[in-house]
Amino acid sequence: MNKGDYINYARKIDSFFKQKKCLYFDKSECSEVIIKSHTIQKKRSLQLIAENGHVLGFSKNYNADEYSSPIVLSPIGINDASTFYGFCKTHDNKLFHPIDDFEFEPTDEQVYLLTYRTFIKELYSKMADVDSYSTMNEFLGKIDNLPTPFRDNVESHYMGAEWGKQDNYHFASIMFNHIKENDFTGIKYVMLEIDTIPEVMISGLVTPEFDYEKNRIQNLSRDPYQKNFALNVFSDGSKGIVLFSWLENLGVEAFIESLFQQNDYFNKIIEIGFTFLNNIYFNETWYNNLSVIKKSRIVKMMHNLIHYDFDTGEYTGIRKNNLHYVDWKIKNVKTNIENFTWL
């Protein structure tokens, strides 16, 4: 495959992730204008860590000469970082006014809406993954001597996307019905207020298979629904926030409790973000000051779509190591979990 063909296929696949649609379940009030919705707010979060109007992130690599480098670290303008075309202007403004225009306390409503937006962004991405599958297959068919593990990696990714799409639609529809009724119960959260604006900002759904003691949380190929939690690391303009939130009775508490039992859980949170999520943006100076080992680790985490060793079968999504990325300290903890003792 020549470079021109590669670029054409890359752009075709990328176009699925820029389709404009409002994923609000009630279409009766939709406006015709589909907007770029920020999942990490621009002015109160991204702007605080931007340099020259840009943050660092990983984006599609249109200049790759080989299939082995589908994404590349690059500066991304804060008008584009963390955005997706998943809501019309009417519903984006109406829905998220309580979290976009007010200090994050948090109230149950704020946590519920932020979690809902995280679910919708994940649903949008999974829909795009599934829709782009045939184009990706056509693309891979034109590559000579494609390694079997690489193809298996891609196949597993798309299979997981189909399951994830169904699960996210199921849970997002449940949440939508609760939002319509102004019922913001049924959500659990732990919010850590930290002593600085986070250099790394994250928004996404994490679907853990094992905890840090290698206890199984779920079997993604057998369980009827995925157990996941929303991880949001951001600022409301005045403070740094690390927020874990999940729908009640999903059974992810064991993983989060296991995480908090680690001495360096903030550094583990950074690795969770780079391992499981792609909606992650960071300050350029922070990244440049990291060691070569830490930078290599971040790039490797971002490129690994499947978290198993093909030779040994070992789960590699969660690792215990001593890599130190940030120096965050807790100022305050807020939660609606009764008798909270995890920290």
Please write the tens of the pLDDT for every residue from 240-274.
999 999 998 778 999 999 999 999 999 999 999 99
Looking from the CA of 241 toward its CB, the CA atoms found within 13 Å total: 28
Residues 252-261, buried b or exposed e (16+ Cβ, 10 A)?
Answer: bbebbbbbbe
Q: Looking at residue 64, what is its pLDDT? A: 57
CB contact at 8 A, 54 and 76: yes
Distance CA 223, CA 208 (A): 13
Distance CA 304, CA 307 (A): 7
CA dihedral 164, 170, 172, 176 (to 10 degrees): 170
Please write the tens of the pLDDT for every residue from 179-235.
999 999 999 999 999 999 999 999 999 999 999 999 999 998 888 888 999 999 999
DSSP code, position 29: G
CB contact at 8 A, 87 and 37: yes
Distance CA 16, CA 155 (A): 18
Smallest Cα–Cα separation from 247: which of 108, 96, 341?
108
Q: Looking at residue 37, what is its pLDDT? A: 96
CB contact at 8 A, 55 and 281: yes
